[in-house]
């Protein structure tokens, strides 16, 4: 009979080895969160540009992250995960210095904006390579059997950092000015480089480097399942506030809180179920739970029911990324692991990018509740796709 104390000690040791690397994702996404609530107002009010340009100042980062995914994966596979994190942190430092320079040029709005947007592009590319390198490095440290745990902890670190970063950035801007945002990014990148320096670099895995298109093709079945589920997240975060306003309700922010809290709780409590039950089985169950939560949002007649639906959606979506991610790692050679992770993340990026305009069209024709119905149906389609993949493998 296995010793439960020894098993607990081993699990704790694995988690600590993961956290030692996921720390760099936390620092990276903390740097992403700090400017989020500050830069739109700075571009619109201080520089005098339109709200569309203000939105571009934020969205450009995500666009750069998406475009850089293939190169980020190839860099980590070819040169190693530690150099990948190193390059990413250097990119954040450069972004911080450009963000610091922009307010100094405030009297020349167009040059100030161009410098700021350049910094956003660099930050998006840097986050892409840090996220992929940190996950691949974590898998290297604890083994492919713990892929789901690595992806889960990386996600927890990213969401927590974004949640901390936004109010921190507002406080820094109010206390010191917008220039402090750039300074904070440069200082955090410097801290990350200091923490990175003494860590031994994992060996680069030898083997053929497949073309990105080939890796993307192998990842596509699981990536489509991830995308179909993730559209619900994009729909909720984009439209829940407007949905509540259309009903004359208050407290829409609590739905986002319920979603985030349930998301993290599910990852903390049930992450080991992926290894026990299998990635496809967990994805099937979780996409079903998410679809149920989105259906509640479609049918809701009260803020309380909307809160419950948001929590169920967050709980369901939580394990979809790591569950299907574990199946992705099983589909590709170890020498292309980072490229596979990058290709897989592309589907998440595309889902979040498509959710706004897609559901905006639905809302324009049928109203806000219909967007949640469509998102629920897409989540159910992801559940059926995962079921088909599971049956096909058997």
Annotate 21-79 with DSSP letters as a single string.
HHHHHHHHHHHHHTTTTTHHHIIIIIS---HHHHHHHHHHHHHHHHHHHHHHHHHHHHH
Which segment of 87-91, 110-114, 154-158 scores lowest on mean pLDDT? 154-158
Q: What is the mean pLDDT of the chain?
A: 84
Are 184 and 34 within 8 A, CB to CB?
A: yes
Specify burial of residue 394 (Cβ count, 10 A radius: 0-12, 13-18, 19+): exposed
Query: Could you give the CA distance from residue 335 to residue 329 in angstroms, rounded to a whole number?
Result: 11
pTM of the model as a whole = 0.77
Query: Could you give the CA distance from residue 73 to residue 343 in angstroms, rounded to a whole number?
Result: 8
Quick one: what percent of the chain has pLDDT higher than 90? 26
> How many CA atoms within 13 Å lie on the side-chain side of 177?
10
User: What pLDDT sits at residue 301?
Assistant: 84
pLDDT at 369 over 70: yes
Query: Could you give the CA distance from residue 197 to residue 182 in angstroms, rounded to a whole number?
Result: 23
What angle in degrees, to the nearest 10, is found between the helix axes of 337-366 and 51-79? 160
> How is residue 380 written in tokens?
């159910």
Cα-based angle 320, 326, 331 (whole degrees, multiple of 5): 125
Query: Could you give the CA distance from residue 90 to residue 87 in angstroms, rounded to a whole number?
Result: 5
Could you give the domains of the chain? 11-196 (1.20.1250.20), 212-393 (1.20.1250.20)
The tens digit of pLDDT for each residue in 41-80 reads 788 778 887 766 776 776 677 778 878 877 777 777 778 7
Query: Average pLDDT of 318-329?
Result: 88
Query: Could you give the CA distance from residue 357 to residue 350 in angstroms, rounded to a whole number?
Result: 12
Are 125 and 65 within 8 A, CB to CB?
A: yes
> How is residue 229 written in tokens?
């589920």
Query: Could you give the CA distance from residue 159 to residue 171 in angstroms, rounded to a whole number?
Result: 19
pLDDT at 202 over 80: no
H/E stretch holding 265 reads helix 252-270
- Nearest Cα residue to 127 out of 372, 356, 345, 359: 345
Residue 204, helix vs strand vs coil? coil
Q: Where are the alpha helices (DSSP H) in the chain?
A: 4-33, 39-41, 51-79, 81-104, 109-142, 147-176, 179-196, 212-247, 252-270, 273-277, 279-299, 303-318, 320-331, 337-366, 368-393
Residues 6+ apart with CB under 8 A from 271: 148, 149, 152, 319, 322
pLDDT at 379 over 90: yes
Residues 6+ apart with CB under 8 A from 391: none
- Residue that wins the pLDDT comparison between 121 and 3: 121
Query: Could you give the CA distance from residue 211 to residue 216 in angstroms, rounded to a whole number?
Result: 9
Reported as a pLDDT band with limits 50, 70 and 90, residue 1 is very low
User: What pLDDT sits at residue 65?
Assistant: 81
Query: Average pLDDT of 203-219?
Result: 74
The tens digit of pLDDT for each residue in 132-157 reads 888 888 888 887 778 778 888 888 88
């Amino acid at each position: 009979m296995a010793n439960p104390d020894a098993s607990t000690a081993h699990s704790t040791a694995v988690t600590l080895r993961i956290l030692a690397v996921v720390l760099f994702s936390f620092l990276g996404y903390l740097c992403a969160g700090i400017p989020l609530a500050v830069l739109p107002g700075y571009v619109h009010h201080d520089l005098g540009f339109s709200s569309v340009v203000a939105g571009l100042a934020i969205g450009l980062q995500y666009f750069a992250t998406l475009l850089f995914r293939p190169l980020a994966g190839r860099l980590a596979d070819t040169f190693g995960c530690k150099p990948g994190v190193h390059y990413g942190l250097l990119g954040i430092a450069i972004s911080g210095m450009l963000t610091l320079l922009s307010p100094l040029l405030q009297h020349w709005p167009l040059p100030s904006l161009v410098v700021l947007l350049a910094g956003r592009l660099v930050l998006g590319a840097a986050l892409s390579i840090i996220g992929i390198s940190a996950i691949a490095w974590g898998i290297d440290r604890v083994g492919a059997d713990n892929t789901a745990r690595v992806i889960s902890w990386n996600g927890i670190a990213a969401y927590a950092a974004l949640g901390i970063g936004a109010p921190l950035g507002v406080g820094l801007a109010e206390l010191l000015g917008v220039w402090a945002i750039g300074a904070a990014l440069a200082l955090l990148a410097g801290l990350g480089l200091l923490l990175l320096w003494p860590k031994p670099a994992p060996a680069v895995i030898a083997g053929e480097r497949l073309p990105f298109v080939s890796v993307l093709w192998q990842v596509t079945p699981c990536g489509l399942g991830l995308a179909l589920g993730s559209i619900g997240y994009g729909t909720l975060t984009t439209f829940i506030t407007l949905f509540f306003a259309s009903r004359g309700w208050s407290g829409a922010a609590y739905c986002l809180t319920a979603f985030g809290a349930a998301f993290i709780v599910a990852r903390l409590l049930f992450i080991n179920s992926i290894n026990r039950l299998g990635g496809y089985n967990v994805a099937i169950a979780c996409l079903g739970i998410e679809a149920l939560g989105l259906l509640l949002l479609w049918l809701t007649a009260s803020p309380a029911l909307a809160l419950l639906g948001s929590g169920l959606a967050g709980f369901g979506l939580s394990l979809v990324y790591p569950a299907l991610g574990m199946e992705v790692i099983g589909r590709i050679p170890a020498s292309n692991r980072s490229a596979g992770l990058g290709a897989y993340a592309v589907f998440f990026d595309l889902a979040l990018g498509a959710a706004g305009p897609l559901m905006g069209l639905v809302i324009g024709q049928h109203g806000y509740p219909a967007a949640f119905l469509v998102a629920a149906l897409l989540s159910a389609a992801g559940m059926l796709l995962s079921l088909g993949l599971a049956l096909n493998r058997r």
